[in-house]
Amino acid sequence: MMDIFNFINQFTGNYGWTIVIFTILFRLVLSPLDVRSRIGQREYTAKMAMIQPEIDLMTKAYKDSPEKISAKTMEIRKKAGVGLLPKGCGTMLLTYPILIAFFAVFRNMAGIQMTNLANNSDNLQYITNWFSHNNFLWIKNIWMPDAAFSLGNIPVLRAVPLLSGILKSTISDIIPQGAYIKSFLSAVNKTDVIDPIVSLLTPAFDSLKALYPGSNGFFILPILAGASQYLSFKIMPTTQPQAGAQAAQAAKTTKYMQIFFPILFIYFCLTSSSALAIYWITSNLCMLI
């Protein structure tokens, strides 16, 4: 993946736009599988809607016998040609292992890029070129989060025991400092040599910090990541219409997912590089289109 990114970057000259182009190409390659998956979901939903009245009648008739309900339900489904899962549903599951792969790639690239920057901190021409290759719209450094300030510094949030620990890892600097340097280096170096390297690179990062003070963004990418994730859930069709208590439980689960996952991705984008947020937003927008 890194080789592909570097190849595309020869033409764009900017890693932010390289990620956008790569993501669009990647989604286009997956689009036949994606379309097949969505057709399978819709067919599944239509078939389930047809047999649901029969299942409801059977459930009432055998309400005191869960085993019989299960057996009869399977019998009705088999007769109608409805499997346990929609056709092509495995395609949707591919998204998350690929996301983990991208997370690893971006972490590794961040380690390499930031180490190169520190090693050339006395070369003003190199620094200028580096930032032109590694900015994106309002983001000055895509290997750092899009944040206006650290959320862990807000007194109200800091007072909440659970949140204070979680939000402590949020950072708004253009140049990494302290523990954040270690997190970059751990992607590309062995653990036993990180501390000596940190001690060598820290003065270089300190001098760069003086050249590039202030925050790296405005929380726009994390919010867009959460919003695009929420929209992707909203347009996803319900695959299994149900009635009564089952419908209530399904609705509750869906509502929980619609709230939990956007918040989770907002957190990921607040504590990871903006590169990951650019990929995730572009990928979600392609899916929504």
The structural domain count of the chain equals 1
Cα-based distances in Å from 135 to 16, 142, 145, 162: 7, 6, 12, 33
pTM of the model: 0.83
Residues 262, 267, 268, 274: what is their CA dihedral angle, to the nearest 10 degrees? 100
- pLDDT tens, N- to C-terminus, the chain (289 residues): 888 888 999 999 999 999 999 999 988 988 887 788 788 888 888 888 888 888 888 888 887 778 888 888 888 888 887 777 676 666 667 767 877 888 888 888 888 898 899 889 889 999 999 999 999 999 999 999 999 988 877 877 777 777 777 777 788 999 988 778 887 777 776 666 777 888 888 899 999 998 899 899 999 999 999 999 999 888 876 555 555 555 566 667 778 888 888 999 999 899 889 999 999 999 999 988 8
Are 188 and 111 in contact by the 8 Å Cβ rule? The answer is: yes
DSSP letter string, 22-79? HHHHHHHHHHHHHHHHHHHHHHHHHHHHHHHHHHHHHHHHTTT-HHHHHHHHHHHHHH
Domain carrying residue 214: 2-288
Q: Name 252's Cβ contacts closer than 8 Å, sequence gap at least 6.
A: none
